[in-house]
Amino acid sequence: MELATMLNYAGNPREAADEVARLEDAGLDAVWVAEAYGFDSPTTMGYLAARTRRMKIGASILNVYSRTPALIAQTGAGLDAVSEGRALIGLGASGPQVVEGWHGKRYDKPLGRTRETVDLCRRIWRRETIVHHGITDMPLPPEKGGTLGKPLKLLNRPVRKEIPVWLASLGPANVRLTAEIADGWLPHLFVPEKAKEVWAAPLAEGSAKRAPELGPLEIAAGTILAVGEDAAAARDLARPIIALYIGGMGAKGRNFYNDLARAYGYEEAAEKVQDLYLDGRKRDAEAAVPAEFAELVSLCGPEGYVRERIEAFREAGVTQLNVRLVGPDPARLIEKVKGWL
């Protein structure tokens, strides 16, 4: 199992990236750079490529609406080049809150767009000549006032023809697609004890159609990591994250994270947190997050307890523990946990 961390949406990206670069020496295997409606992810990833030598650098996530598939492929190839083959391209449909509210794009055909984007990226990285004939920014034919440009292929030769593509997905159809076509899966708010009952069927259905050359599906999951006799209190740091996603990432009936909380069995809490969050009562929404939920998505407590939690994630199929480090000495914490993996 690898150990990874994530750069948050807010904060100074240079300072955060410099800290991650120091953690590389302690054994950190990968870093994921978030993108929502703050700074873009690839800019910070490029800076990280220059500041690090060994660790993998992932986008988490680039949505499939705000960039064309060709631009995503160009960006991925460029990041892989400057990092000398260490890029991970995390893609996802995101949700109406970001796609429509921020980018002004219609949120439609998420499954088709995701599948087509992954296919085009892989073809572009193989330097195939690309002709657009799908649903993503398809040009109008001449008889309808458009022009069909000359089919092209990528000018540069990528460092790798097969850059790993990870998909962020939660709903059954998206998870089924992920298991079929992706190199890795980025499930948010992952509860290992409840993962099987929520996702076992779509994972199995997608895996049945999976190309053998893709190999086993990798999974990156986790949140807060704190080790110590009094570290259980750090679980409360997960409350704002949970409340933001199940309460604020979408309107009622259009929030995939709220649907996930309900699928986990927290129907009443999911409704309450969402009502409070949408009413502007964020602190009350955080307080309404069930203690059990905050505990199960986290790895916080005495050493023996945290090691048990890590095994729970491993047994659920997680291959990369993706954590937010809490404590006075993050490098020492990395060294300690790496010894358990």
* Mean pLDDT, the chain, whole residue set: 93
- Where does the chain show beta strands of DSSP type E? 2-7, 30-34, 56-63, 87-92, 165-168, 184-185, 218-221, 224-227, 299-301, 320-325
Average pLDDT over residues 3-7: 95
Please give the model's pTM, rounded to 2 decimal places.
Answer: 0.94
pLDDT at residue 10, rounded to an integer = 73
- Orientation angle between helical segments 172-181 and 192-207, nearest 10 degrees: 60
3-state SS assignment for residue 32? strand
At residue 36 the predicted structure's pLDDT band, cuts being 50, 70 and 90, is: confident
pLDDT at residue 111, rounded to an integer = 96
At residue 13 the predicted structure's pLDDT band, cuts being 50, 70 and 90, is: confident
Torsion angle of the four alpha carbons 119, 124, 129, 135, in this order, in degrees rounded to the nearest 10? 40
Give the torsion sign (CA, 141, 145, 146, 147). Answer: positive
3-state SS assignment for residue 242? helix
- Select from 40, 263, 61, 311 the least CA-distant residue to 182: 61
Question: Does pLDDT of 302 surpass 90?
Answer: yes
pLDDT at residue 137, rounded to an integer = 64
3-state SS assignment for residue 219? strand
- Sorted by sequence, the CB contacts under 8 Å of residue 72 that are 6+ apart come out as 62, 64, 89, 91, 117, 121
pLDDT at residue 147, rounded to an integer = 56
State the burial class of residue 314 (Cβ atoms within 10 Å of its Cβ: 0-12, 13-18, 19+): middle
Find the DSSP H helices in 52-144: 69-82, 96-99, 110-125
- Select from 74, 63, 54, 2 the least CA-distant residue to 35: 63
Domain ranges of the chain: 2-222+312-338
pLDDT at residue 144, rounded to an integer = 58
Average pLDDT over residues 142-163: 81
Q: pLDDT tens digits for 72-86?
A: 999 999 999 999 999
Separation between Cα atoms, residue 260 and residue 227, nearest integer Å: 28
Separation between Cα atoms, residue 235 and residue 226, nearest integer Å: 8
Q: pLDDT tens digits for 203-246?
A: 999 999 999 999 999 999 998 999 999 999 999 999 999 999 99
Q: What percent of the chain has pLDDT over 90?
A: 86
Question: Does pLDDT of 140 surpass 80?
Answer: no
At residue 139 the predicted structure's pLDDT band, cuts being 50, 70 and 90, is: low
pLDDT at residue 249, rounded to an integer = 87
Separation between Cα atoms, residue 238 and residue 2, nearest integer Å: 22
| Fold adopted by 2-222+312-338 | TIM Barrel (3.20.20)
pLDDT at residue 134, rounded to an integer = 78
Q: Are 261 and 293 contacting, i.e. CB atoms less than 8 angstroms apart?
A: yes
Separation between Cα atoms, residue 241 and residue 178, nearest integer Å: 24
pLDDT at residue 311, rounded to an integer = 97
State the burial class of residue 80 (Cβ atoms within 10 Å of its Cβ: 0-12, 13-18, 19+): buried
Average pLDDT over residues 255-276: 96
DSSP bridge partners of 31: 5, 57
Residue type, 10: A
